[in-house]
Amino acid sequence: MHPAVLSRLSSKGMAIRAANWSESAHRFLKRCADAGSLDACYFLGMICFYCLEKKGIGATLMAKAGIGSHAEALYSLAVIQFNGSGGTKSDKDLRAGVALCARAAFHGHVDALRELGHCLQDGYGVKQNVTEGRRFLVQANARELAGVFSASQKEATAATAAAASLMKLQAGSGMAGFSACSLLSDFGCNVPMPEVHPANRFMVEWFAAKGGPTGGGIGVADGLDGLRMCSHGGCGRPETRRHEFRRCSVCGVVNYCSRACQALHWKVAHKLECAPMERWLDEGVGGDPAAAAGNGVPAARGDRAGNVN
C-alpha cells in the first residue's frame, strides 16, 4: 500500500483487536506510523508502552503524535507524567502533566479539559483557582453534550454496542462495568456512552485475555505482580508499578489513573457501590482488607470520590 494512503488511514481503519494481534499487525501499524499517520503513532505507542512493555518506544511514538497536535496522545502523555508511569514515584512531573493537559484540551479533548479543571480546583501541579477549575468542568460537560447531539443515531448505537461488549469483558476479569449514562447526568440527560477509542479497547481486551491486572472492586484480588488496571471500564490503562494509581479515599477498593477517569466512573457506577471501608471490614467482604487499607494516596488527590464532578 502506498505511504500516502497509509498516512491518511483513520483510527477506525487501523483498529486492530487484541485477539488478532500478530507480528504482521505490528508491522502494519509501524508502516502507517513511519508514513506519518499520527493515529498509528498513538495506537502503536499505547500498545508498546502498556502491553508490550517497550516503554521507551511507546513514549517516543506518542511524543511524535503529540508534536503533531494529536489530542489523545497529548492527554496520554499527561497521564504518564502525572503518575510517573514506567518509572518511580519520584519521576512524576505534575507541571508537565498540566501543560500537556492544557494542550490536549485546546485541541478538543474533553477528558483533558476535565482533568485540567480538577487540577485547578485542587492546586495539583498548578496554582489553585477553584473558580476557574469549576468553569473548565462546566465546559467539559458542555462539550460532551454538544458532541452527543452532533453524533448521528448510527454512531450512537455503535458506541453503545461497543460499551456493552467491554462490559462483558470486564465482568469476566473482575472489572466494574459502566452504564449508558455519562457525566451529562449533571444536565439531567441520559445519553449513550461516548465511543471507546480503539487503543483503550485493545488494552482492555489484551489484559482480559492475558489474565493481567484487574480493575479492582469488592472481593477482587490484584492482578499479576500486584498490579491493577484503572477502574473506569473504558480506559484500559494498567499500573506500571505497584500502588501507582490513586485509590478511592472512601472505600479504598477502586483505583484510577486520573481524576477524569475517577469522575466518569463515579457518575456511571461507583456512586452506587461506594461505602466507607469500615463497612466492608464489618461485613467480612473484600478479599484482603489489610492490603486494601494500606494502598497509599486516595484516588481523589485529597478529596473524597463523591465530591468530584
**Tens-digit pLDDT profile for residues 147-160:** 767 664 455 555 55
- pLDDT band, very low/low/confident/very high, at 307 (cuts 50, 70, 90): very low
Average pLDDT over residues 239-245: 91
Question: Beta partners for 246?
Answer: 256
Percentage of residues in the chain having pLDDT higher than 70: 70
Predicted local confidence at residue 282, as pLDDT: 56
Query: Tens digit of pLDDT for each residue in 16-30?
Result: 999 999 999 999 999
- pLDDT band, very low/low/confident/very high, at 165 (cuts 50, 70, 90): low
Predicted local confidence at residue 205, as pLDDT: 92
Is residue 202's pLDDT more than 60? yes
Predicted local confidence at residue 264, as pLDDT: 82
pTM for the full predicted model: 0.77
- pLDDT band, very low/low/confident/very high, at 265 (cuts 50, 70, 90): confident
> Residue 197 and residue 189: Cα distance in Å, rounded?
23
pLDDT, averaged across the chain: 78
Percentage of residues in the chain having pLDDT higher than 90: 44
Query: Tens digit of pLDDT for each residue in 97-148?
Result: 999 999 999 999 999 999 999 999 999 999 999 999 999 999 988 887 777 6
Predicted local confidence at residue 306, as pLDDT: 39
Is residue 305's pLDDT more than 80? no
Query: Tens digit of pLDDT for each residue in 76-105?
Result: 999 999 999 999 889 999 999 999 999 999
Is residue 221's pLDDT more than 80? no
Predicted local confidence at residue 105, as pLDDT: 95
27, three cell numbers: 508491522
Query: Tens digit of pLDDT for each residue in 40-52?
Result: 999 999 999 999 9
Question: Beta partners for 216?
Answer: 254
Is residue 232's pLDDT more than 80? yes
Predicted local confidence at residue 293, as pLDDT: 34
Predicted local confidence at residue 296, as pLDDT: 33
Report CA dihedral (131, 133, 139, 144) to the nearest 10 degrees.
-140
